[in-house]
Amino acid sequence: MNKDNFEGGVRSAVGQGESSVGPATDDKASEVKGAYDQVAGSAQTAWGSAKDAAKEMADSGSIPDLSGLRDDIARLTQTVSDLAQKQVASSRDQVAGVVGAAGDSLSQSAAVAQDKFAAVEGDVEARIKRNPWGAVAVAGLIGLLIGKMS
């Protein structure tokens, strides 16, 4: 057992712990970091195993059985694939949530603006009904100003 095997095993165990604690505390960052550490630890352990196998082969002059290493690499590949799928799903859910919240906010802002416009429209209409000659004078003045500007 070399340094990479030991450190990889420790990192993988710590990552597995973080992955387990993440869902319990509803901390997605901890869960993703734990899965990353678990995968990185497995990769480091596999690297250490490969180094040990190469050293064994060099020392004995024979070719070692690499089926265990193949199995480790297959499990590592599956774990990386699962991690990537979880990350994509998590990101997709977060984007959908943000877009939904933005849409709701925009709808609320439009409703508030529409209500304010309706209130202003009602106020102007009431003023015109109370003083129609004043409204005609204001409209004439605006027409005169527009005529002077062009």
**Full 3-state SS string of the chain:** CCHHHHHHHHHHHHHHHHHHHHHHHCCHHHHHHHHHHHHHHHHHHHHHHHHHHHHHHHHHCCCCCCHHHHHHHHHHHHHHHHHHHHHHHHHHHHHHHHHHHHHHHHHHHHHHHHHHHHHHHHHHHHHHHHCHHHHHHHHHHHHHHHHHHC
pLDDT at 140: 92
- What per-residue confidence (pLDDT) applies to 64? 56
pLDDT in tens, 106-139: 999 999 999 999 999 999 899 889 999 988 998 8
pTM: 0.40
Q: Does the pLDDT of residue 141 top 90, yes or no?
A: yes
The pLDDT of residue 62 is: 62
Where do the domains of the chain lie? 3-114
61-110 residue pLDDT tens: 665 566 777 888 888 888 888 888 888 888 888 888 889 889 999 999 99
Specify the pLDDT at position 107: 92
pLDDT (tens digit, 9 = 90+) per residue, 25-60?
766 677 777 777 778 878 878 888 877 777 777 777
106/17: higher pLDDT: 106
